[in-house]
Amino acid sequence: MIDKTELKNKFILDACCGGRMFWLDKNNPHTIFQDIRDMERGFCKHSPEYSVKPDVVGDFKNMQFPDKSFKLIVFDPPHLIEKGTSIMSKKYGYYKSLEDLKNDVKKGFDECWRVLDDYGVLIFKWNEGSVKRKEIIELIGKQPLFGQTGASNKNKVVTIWFCFMKIPIANPSTLNPTDSIPTGEFNKGLEVPPSAPPKLSPTEITSPNPNIIRNRLIPTKKSET
129, pLDDT greater than 90: no
Answering whether pTM is above 0.75, one says no
Q: How far is Cα 34 from Cα 106, in angstroms, rounded to an integer? A: 18
pLDDT of residue 40: 73
Q: How far is Cα 126 from Cα 136, in angstroms, rounded to an integer? A: 9
**Bridge partners, 14 (sequence order):** 33, 74
Decide if 61 contacts 107 (C-beta within 8 A).
Answer: yes
pLDDT in tens, 142-182: 999 999 876 556 656 678 999 999 999 866 555 554 444 44
Decide if 14 contacts 33 (C-beta within 8 A).
Answer: yes
Beta-strand ranges (E) seen in the chain are 12-14, 31-35, 56-57, 70-75, 116-127, 146-147, 159-165, 212-213, 216-217
Mean pLDDT score of the chain, rounded to an integer? 78
pLDDT in tens, 55-86: 999 999 999 999 999 999 999 999 888 766 67
pLDDT of residue 214: 43
Report all structural domains of the chain as residue ranges with CATH numbers, in order of start: 4-165 (3.40.50.150), 177-225 (no CATH)
Q: Which of 63, 1, 49 is nearest to 21 (CA)?
A: 49
Give the residue-averaged pLDDT of 193-213. Answer: 47
Distance of CA 39 to the CA centre of its chain: 26
Decide if 125 contacts 101 (C-beta within 8 A).
Answer: no
> Residue 225 — pLDDT band, cuts 50, 70, 90?
very low
pLDDT in tens, 14-45: 999 999 999 999 999 999 999 998 877 656 66
**DSSP-based three-state secondary structure for 112:** helix
**DSSP-based three-state secondary structure for 43:** coil
pLDDT of residue 216: 43
